[in-house]
Structure formats: C-alpha cells, structure tokens
C-alpha cells in the first residue's frame, strides 16, 4: 500500500486567505508567487511586458509576487538581457512595484549571482566560484574566488538590496539554492576550498551568512529579507539534508532573515530534481539560440535524471527543517490544490509558494478564495520552461 507523503495534521491551521506578517510587511494572504525566470527583460531593464506579466498574479489574488533573478552585478548574470541592479534599472523597478501595489499585493525581488554558471557571453568576463570547476552552462572552467572577490560580491549584494528598498520592494529574496553562487559555497561538489570558507558546513556557510547579514543591514527596517535555501542538491557528493537543516539553524541564530523558502536541486547536475514531472530539456536545447550552449545542453541531457511528479514534493525534507527552526517557512514544490495548502498550514508552514500552477492560471488564488475551484489544472508538463528559451516563460495551454 502506498504511503501518503502528506500526513494528515491533527488540527486545522490558519486560513490560507488570512493575512500574514512577514518581518515588517503584512501580506494579504499566505500564497507567494515565487521567482520563475521570466525572460522578459531587455538590456538588463524592466519591460512593460514583465510588469504586465506579474500584474496578472497580483490581480489574481496572491499575497506577494517575486521578480525573478536580478543579478547583483553585471558579472553575476546568466543571460545578456538579464536585469542587474544598477541606477539605470531604478525607474523600471519602481514602475514594477507601483503596479503590483496597485493590485493590493506585495512585491518581492530575487537577488542572486550565478557564480560558476555565468557565461562570458553575458558578462564579458570569466566566471568565478568557490573553487575551480568546469561549468556546462558557461562551457568553461571558473576561477576560484579570492578574498577580494568575496568582499566585492558582499558589497554588490548590499548595494542591490539598498536599490530594491529605494524602488519600493516590500521583500528581498536572496537566492541560496539551485547551484547558484551562494549555493555553490554550501555544496561540497562545488566547494573544495581549504581555507575558512571550505570543509565543514560551518565553513561552507560562512560566505552566504556574510552576504545575508549585509543584505539585512542594507535593506533597512521596512523591508522583509528571506532566503531561498537549498535543503539538498539531490545527488551524492552534493549538499545533503543534514547540512541544509544545519544552515537553516545558523540563519535563524544570525537573525538575518525573516523567513526561508525551502527548495532543492542543482541546475547543472539535477535540474529535474527542483522541477519534477516531464523533462523539457530536449525542447530547451532545441530552442537555445547560442550554438555552443545548445551543443553543451544536448551533450549533457543524457546525464540528467528524471524525477516523477508528486504534489508538495519537498514536503518530507521541509518537515525536517520545520522541526528544527521556529522561523516562518514557505513550502514549495508543485502545489496545486487548496487541500494541500490547508494541510501545509496545519503542519506548521506559514506560507506556500505556487509557481507553475499560477503560470497556467494567474487568477487561481482568487478563484479558490471565492470557492469557485479547489484545484489548479497544471499537469507539470514543464513546457513553460522550454518556452523561456524560445521567447518568454508562458503556459502553452493558454492563448
């Protein structure tokens, strides 16, 4: 007999449609549209299309929507058109937050640096990471970061957080997952350092903790700060759950974050671990415009394992984090049903993050609140991810 991966809680939790106070910010409900790369920026700036895309989620009832992956510096980008945090981007960022606030939702921004995944075609410079490593995404070896590189990057995160606050964002999400730079420091697969930034999990967490402390100070008292934190990388030799839980405890003790959004997987090793469901990788390779990256993606596809989809697929790991910390937690992982959200609330999660379900149905939360539906119709085909490579992120089932 199959075991229910989502245990029935003994008592109901708070309503998903009740307000929640995230640090200094009150959200109108507990559903967050997480960062999902939109591929709608141009010249590293916000576009009207990008604003309108997020406006749909805000009008559709979410408590907060998240502008995806804004690089903290030009060298932290993965694509040439990707938004990076500088004065030239300020007007567009302010236009974005004003549009979201007009619909009654809060606006979050995801700040990140891709580290060894940054291709020279996007940044004009060689990639860097915690240690020397070949990157299939950048199709070259990265160099190991020096102390000066780390100091400069901490300052870049702080400057980006200040700009986010100045342009009206309610929350700053720091990307510490999916094999991006801060996650690379946590992962023993990427981090082979022999100094105080490598070895034990305490040492591997040292640089991400420095970054989060700097972001917390720079963002100021009116802005919420949370981390998108890998619980594990999903492969042997990567970050394991016990270390992921230990990092969550460290961040709680530091007082640098108001919440954690729990995730897992490594973009260049286990991309389907963080998605589950049907693999879009062959279609993504077919749509990739740069020949060298297309050939690299095609060469590596056969090494990527598929993972069957089940709703709330990060739940078992997230429950272990829940038992160890008192911080507010966002449960993520293919959530589509109201019943699942209600059970998550009863199990002690303060918020849930819904990505693909809202790309398919941006007004899903409002219809759930009105009693018009109890479940989304997303089938985790993941073709929205492949559409990102062709043009921009969208559901192929929507007109």
> What CA–CA distance (Å, rounded) separates 204 from 139?
25
CB atoms near residue 230 (< 10 Å):
30
3-state secondary structure 148-200: HHHHHHHHHHHHHHHHHHHCCCCEEEEEECECCHHHHHHCCCCCCCCCCCCCC
Is there a contact between 378 and 361 (Cβ–Cβ < 8 Å)?
Answer: yes
Catalytic machinery residues: 180
Alpha-carbon distance 132 to 192, whole Å? 8
């Amino acid at each position: 007999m199959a075991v229910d991966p989502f245990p029935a809680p003994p008592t109901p939790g708070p309503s998903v449609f009740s307000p929640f106070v995230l640090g200094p910010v009150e959200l109108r409900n507990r559903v967050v549209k997480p960062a999902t790369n939109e591929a709608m920026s141009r010249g590293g700036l916000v576009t009207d299309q990008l604003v309108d895309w997020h406006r749909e989620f805000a009008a559709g009832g979410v408590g907060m929507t998240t502008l995806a992956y804004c690089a903290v510096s030009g060298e932290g980008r993965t694509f040439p058109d990707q938004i990076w945090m500088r004065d030239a981007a300020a007007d567009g960022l302010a236009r974005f937050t004003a549009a979201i606030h007009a619909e009654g939702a809060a606006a979050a921004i995801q700040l990140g640096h891709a580290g060894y995944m940054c291709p020279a075609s996007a940044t004009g410079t060689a990639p860097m990471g915690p240690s020397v490593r070949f990157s299939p995404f950048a199709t070259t070896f990265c160099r190991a970061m020096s102390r000066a590189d780390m100091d400069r990057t901490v300052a870049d995160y702080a400057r980006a957080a200040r700009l986010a606050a100045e342009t009206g964002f309610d929350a700053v999400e720091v990307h510490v997952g999916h094999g991006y730079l801060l996650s690379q420091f946590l992962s023993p697969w990427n981090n082979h350092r022999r100094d105080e930034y490598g070895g034990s999990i305490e040492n591997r967490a040292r640089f991400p903790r420095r970054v989060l402390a700097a972001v917390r100070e720079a963002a100021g008292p009116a802005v919420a700060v949370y981390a998108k934190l890998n619980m594990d990388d999903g492969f042997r030799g990567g970050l394991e759950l016990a270390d992921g839980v230990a990092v969550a405890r460290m961040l709680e003790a530091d007082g640098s974050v108001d919440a954690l959004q729990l995730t897992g997987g490594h973009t260049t090793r286990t991309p389907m671990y963080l998605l589950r469901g049907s693999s879009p990788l062959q279609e993504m390779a077919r749509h990739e415009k740069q020949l060298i990256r297309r050939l690299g993606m095609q060469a590596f596809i056969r090494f990527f394992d598929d993972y069957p989809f089940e709703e709330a697929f990060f739940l078992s790991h997230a429950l272990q984090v829940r038992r160890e910390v008192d911080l507010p937690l966002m449960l993520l992982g293919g959530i589509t049903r109201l019943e699942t959200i209600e059970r998550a609330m009863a199990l002690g999660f303060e918020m849930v993050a819904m990505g693909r379900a809202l790309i398919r149905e941006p007004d899903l939360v409002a219809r759930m609140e009105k009693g018009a539906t109890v479940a989304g119709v997303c089938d985790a085909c993941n073709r929205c991810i492949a559409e990102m490579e062709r043009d921009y992120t969208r559901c192929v089932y929507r007109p």
